[in-house]
């Protein structure tokens, strides 16, 4: 069977998801029996316009150039898969969508006129057809390898939207929400990390985005009952996947209840 | 039944005897702010002077004034994860020079003795036995683990606020299903023998007969534990009326709170649902079929021929309650709830099964 030709494109992102390829260790040699990587700047391969079977897109669209490169990648590739929080929902940098972007630019950069950005940071699916999404901040090696393996078998992976709590319990972690009143997003977050944070006694931050049937409304109320202020609850839902509709709704709901906001801000 | 007495400092002797008989000894320990069951190196690792404060959505350990080892009631686990593993390989398929080969997988099994299980845990074990060991399709690894199990139960001397085993008829004292059963007193343990295996261990301990005074203390402890229970699950006949309440508005009310997270079914010592996944190696040369704990609160649990049958949280909660409290009676001859209260304490949003069952069956206004 011919190898899969793969291009790995990076738009606006921290490059952390691409490490799922580089951090494989010796296993990378096995993976390379299945795929030919033709474009991968982080790995020193530069051929952005090559035709490929699979384009993996890391990063969100935040500049006119991002948009152009995404469109090229889409037309040069049979399958397109977005990898990581930035590509799937806009990422941490999408927090700016909810702020006055111009004011921030002026406050931070000496010459803001050199910064050429679009109004919002948006996910890949807002601009191009996406065949599959790998959620996570960052994605795991297992997610990536499973994608490649399933493609080699001639199918796409199962889109596992199960809640993190199920994996947390399978690993027999003690629930930090129940013992420590920690504001854990596990009950509304997709599985994939193996319940990493609860294993270290920490509440889940929601790196893998919303699960199936995420009852954010009830969870937010529970956080309030545990003593969090509305602004803290809003931040909890906003941090990594602020633009995913389920978390975004909770962000706006709790932000509007923040007593520190003036009446004018609330509008 | 004759009761014997084991002085407090000789508990180690019991552990040593079990080990000499070839058992790995599992007992309660404090870990990550909860009581969990793990291999015990010696008796000093037991949670002396620890009790739990539990309430809907809350579980906290606290120091008590006494120095008893078994003053807690439950932790999140019970026996379930040891007999019905959360994740277990069932079989493997491999490409070999001789073609594709299928092989059944069997976990390594060694004799285990559990110290500190409660009456509700034993009632749950009897139900899991019915499902995994005595049904038409027994699970061979469960059966093998079950056969070599040694159980040292402990009668509860107090009840946590989430306990309601009296109303389900399963506790707070164990009447059968153990090899040995302890009543913990300040200076030692009353011991009841429940099996020949148990007698063999008891013989090695050189026990004295328990005095009437000590037995009277144990009886008073039992009565106190009974009186402390505030929650009452409706009786089984009343619970059967749930099947006529499929359209009750209350399912919608619950669904506004319920996260469909599956924590309740995971901690429930009687829930047994699982799903299977096949995990392939990176080269596609070997594949492992794995059984994982599942829950009726998960989407894929009701995924049948391309469609999710129970998409709404209200339907999923209804499935859990209807199966557990009503339809188990048709399936296994009794309700699936043994009154341990775990699902109440470990529900992240404090949903109280007893309160909901009473509201649905009896019209109680919570
Ligand atoms: S710690 Fe978080 S992820 Fe784990 S069971 Fe509790 S709420 Fe769910
Ligand atoms: S339904 Fe709840 S109280 Fe009843 S056995 Fe299960 S976890 Fe325990
Ligand atoms: S209540 Fe739900 S998880 Fe438990 S055994 Fe029944 S269907 Fe399975
Ligand atoms: S009842 Fe509680 S523990 Fe059970 S699924 Fe709903 S929120 Fe989770």
Query: How is B99-119 classified by DSSP, letter by letter?
Result: EEEEEE-------EEEEEE-H
Domain parsing of chain A, residue ranges: 4-152, 164-266
Nearest ligand (C-alpha, residue B318)? 3
* Nearest protein CA to atom 5 of ligand 3, as residue: B271
Q: Is the pLDDT of residue A267 over 60?
A: no
B263 Cα to the center of ligand 4, angstroms: 6
- Which pTM does this prediction carry? 0.96
Three-state DSSP class for residue A130? coil
- Residue A1, pLDDT score: 80
Looking at the fold, whether B244 and B170 belong to one and the same domain comes out as: no
Categorise residue B202: left if φ over 0, alpha if ψ from -120 to 50, beta otherwise.
alpha
* Nearest protein CA to atom 4 of ligand 4, as residue: B264
* Nearest protein CA to atom 3 of ligand 4, as residue: B347
Closest Cβ–Cβ partner in B77, B282, B298 for A172: B77
- Residue A102, pLDDT score: 86
Looking at the fold, whether B220 and B247 belong to one and the same domain comes out as: no
Looking at the fold, whether B71 and B111 belong to one and the same domain comes out as: yes
Three-state DSSP class for residue B364? coil
Domain end among B227, B250, B278: B227
d(CA B7, CA B189): 6
Domain end among B204, B227, B250: B227
**Does A63 contact B at CB distance below 8 Å?**
no
d(CA B192, CA B175): 10
- ipTM score above 0.90: yes
Q: Closest by alpha carbon to B162, among B360, B356, B342?
A: B342
Looking at the fold, whether B32 and B158 belong to one and the same domain comes out as: yes
Q: Is the pLDDT of residue A44 over 90?
A: yes
Residue with tokens 């493997």: B92
Smallest Cα distance from A123 to chain B, Å: 25
Q: Closest by alpha carbon to B114, among B71, B69, B153?
A: B153
pLDDT, mean of residues B106-113: 96
What is the average pLDDT value for chain A, to the nearest integer?
A: 95
Closest Cβ–Cβ partner in B77, B266, B313 for A213: B313
d(CA A125, CA A57): 11
Q: What range defines the domain where residue B104 resides?
A: 4-227
Q: Is the pLDDT of residue A169 over 90?
A: yes
pLDDT in tens, B348-365: 999 999 999 999 999 998
Find which of A1-5, A21-25, A229-233, B134-138 is predicted with most confidence, using mean pLDDT.
Answer: A229-233
H helix or E strand, kind and range, residue B26? strand B24-31
Q: Across the interface, do A162 and B345 touch by the CB < 8 Å criterion?
A: no
CA A188 to chain centre: 15
Q: How many domains does chain B have?
A: 2
B residues 280-309 near A, CB within 8 Å?
A: 280, 282-284, 292-295, 298-300
- Residue A104, pLDDT score: 87
Angle of the A216-225 helix axis to the A230-238 helix axis, nearest 10: 140
Residue with tokens 């534990």: B225
d(CA B321, CA B314): 11
Angle at the Cα of B92 from the Cα atoms of B91 and B97, rounded to 5 degrees = 145
Looking at the fold, whether B203 and B249 belong to one and the same domain comes out as: no
- Residue B256, pLDDT score: 98
- B193 neighbors B180 (Cβ within 8 angstroms): yes
Q: Which residues pair with B113 in a beta bridge?
A: B25, B150
Nearest ligand (C-alpha, residue A221)? 4
> With contacts defined as CB-CB under 8 Å, which chain B residues touch A166?
261-262, 266, 293-295, 298
Q: Which residues pair with B188 in a beta bridge?
A: B7, B185
Share of chain B above pLDDT 90, in %: 96
| Distances from the Cα of B56 to the Cα of A59, A261, B344, B353, angstroms | 42, 34, 5, 9
- B87 neighbors B291 (Cβ within 8 angstroms): yes
Domain end among B227, B249, B268: B227
- A251 neighbors A217 (Cβ within 8 angstroms): no
The DSSP symbol for A124 reads: G
d(CA A92, CA A86): 7
| Distances from the Cα of B174 to the Cα of B98, B153, B346, angstroms | 54, 7, 24
The terminus-to-terminus CA distance of chain B in angstroms comes to: 43
pLDDT, mean of residues B303-309: 94
pLDDT in tens, A121-158: 999 999 999 999 999 999 999 999 999 999 999 999 99
Tokens of B239: 């619970």
Is the shortest distance between the CB of B18 and ligand 4 below 6 Å? Answer: no
- Residue B7, pLDDT score: 95
pLDDT in tens, B182-230: 999 999 999 999 999 999 999 999 999 999 999 999 999 999 999 999 9
- Residue B1, pLDDT score: 58
* Nearest protein CA to atom 1 of ligand 3, as residue: B320
Categorise residue B206: left if φ over 0, alpha if ψ from -120 to 50, beta otherwise.
left
Looking at the fold, whether B272 and B211 belong to one and the same domain comes out as: no
Residue with tokens 């889409």: A74
Nearest ligand (C-alpha, residue A186)? 1
CA atoms within 13 A on the CB side of B49: 6
- Residue B11, pLDDT score: 96
d(CA B158, CA B229): 9
A175 Cα to the center of ligand 1, angstroms: 5
H helix or E strand, kind and range, residue B349? none
At B309, give phi and psi (nearest 5°). -75, -40
The DSSP symbol for A70 reads: H
What is the average pLDDT value for chain B, to the nearest integer?
A: 96
Is the shortest distance between the CB of B353 and ligand 4 below 6 Å? Answer: no
- B202 neighbors B192 (Cβ within 8 angstroms): no
CATH 3.40.50.700 fits A4-152, yes or no: yes
């Amino acid at each position: 069977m011919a190898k899969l030709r793969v291009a790995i494109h990076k738009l606006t992102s921290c490059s952390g998801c691409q490490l799922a390829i580089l951090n494989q260790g010796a296993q990378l040699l096995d993976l390379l029996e299945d795929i030919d990587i033709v474009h991968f700047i982080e790995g020193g391969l530069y051929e952005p316009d090559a035709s490929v079977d699979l384009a993996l897109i890391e990063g969100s669209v935040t500049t006119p150039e991002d948009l152009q490169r995404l469109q090229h990648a889409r037309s040069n590739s049979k399958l397109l898969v977005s990898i990581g929080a930035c590509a799937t929902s806009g990422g941490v940098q999408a927090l700016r969508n909810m702020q006055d972007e111009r004011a921030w630019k002026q406050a931070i950069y000496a010459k803001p006129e050199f910064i050429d950005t679009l109004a919002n940071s948006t996910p890949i699916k807002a601009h191009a057809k996406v065949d599959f999404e790998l959620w996570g901040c960052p994605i795991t090696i297992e997610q990536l390898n499973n994608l490649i393996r399933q493609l080699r078998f001639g199918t796409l992976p199962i889109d596992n939207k199960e809640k993190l709590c199920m994996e947390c319990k399978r690993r027999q972690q003690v629930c930090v929400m129940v013992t420590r009143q920690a504001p854990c997003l596990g009950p509304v977050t997709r599985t994939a990390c193996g319940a990493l944070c609860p294993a270290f006694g920490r509440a889940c931050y929601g790196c893998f985005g919303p699960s199936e049937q995420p009852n954010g409304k009830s969870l937010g109320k529970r956080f309030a009952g545990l003593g969090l202020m509305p602004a803290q609850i809003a931040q909890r839902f906003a941090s990594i996947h602020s633009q995913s509709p389920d978390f975004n709704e909770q962000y706006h709901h709790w932000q509007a209840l923040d007593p520190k906001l003036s009446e004018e801000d609330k509008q | 039944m004759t009761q014997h007495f084991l002085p407090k400092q000789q508990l180690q002797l019991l552990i040593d005897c079990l080990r000499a008989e070839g058992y790995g000894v599992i007992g309660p320990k404090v870990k990550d702010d909860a009581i969990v069951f793990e291999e015990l190196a010696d008796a000093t690792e037991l949670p002396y002077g620890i009790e739990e404060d539990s309430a809907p959505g809350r579980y906290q350990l606290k120091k008590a004034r006494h120095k008893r080892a078994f003053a807690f009631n439950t932790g999140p686990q019970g026996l379930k994860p040891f007999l019905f593993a959360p994740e277990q390989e069932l079989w493997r398929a491999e490409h070999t020079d001789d073609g594709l080969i299928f092989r059944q997988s069997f976990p390594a099994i060694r004799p285990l003795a559990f110290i500190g299980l409660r009456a509700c845990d034993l009632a749950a074990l009897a139900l899991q036995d019915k499902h995994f060991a005595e049904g038409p399709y027994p699970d061979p690894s469960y059966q093998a683990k079950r056969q070599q199990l040694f159980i040292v139960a402990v009668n509860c001397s107090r009840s946590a606020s989430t306990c309601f085993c009296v109303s389900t008829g399963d506790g707070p004292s164990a009447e059968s299903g153990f090899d040995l059963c302890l009543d913990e007193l300040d200076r030692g343990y009353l011991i009841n023998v429940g099996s020949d295996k148990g007698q063999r261990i008891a013989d090695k301990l050189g026990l004295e007969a328990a005095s009437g005074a000590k037995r009277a203390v144990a009886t008073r402890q039992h009565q106190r534990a009974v009186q402390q229970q505030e929650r009452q699950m409706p009786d089984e006949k009343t619970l059967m009326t749930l099947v006529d309440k499929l359209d009750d508005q209350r399912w919608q009310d619950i669904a506004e709170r319920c996260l469909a997270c599956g924590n309740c079914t995971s901690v429930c010592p009687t829930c047994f649902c699982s799903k299977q996944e096949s995990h392939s190696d990176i080269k596609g040369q070997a594949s492992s079929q794995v059984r994982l704990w599942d829950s009726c609160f998960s989407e894929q649990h009701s995924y049948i021929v391309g469609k999710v049958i129970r998409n709404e949280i209200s339907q999923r909660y209804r499935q859990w309650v209807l199966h557990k409290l009503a339809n188990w009676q048709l399936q296994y001859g009794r309700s699936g709830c043994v009154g341990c209260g775990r699902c109440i304490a470990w529900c992240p949003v404090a949903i109280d099964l007893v309160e909901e069952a009473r509201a649905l069956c009896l019209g109680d206004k919570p």
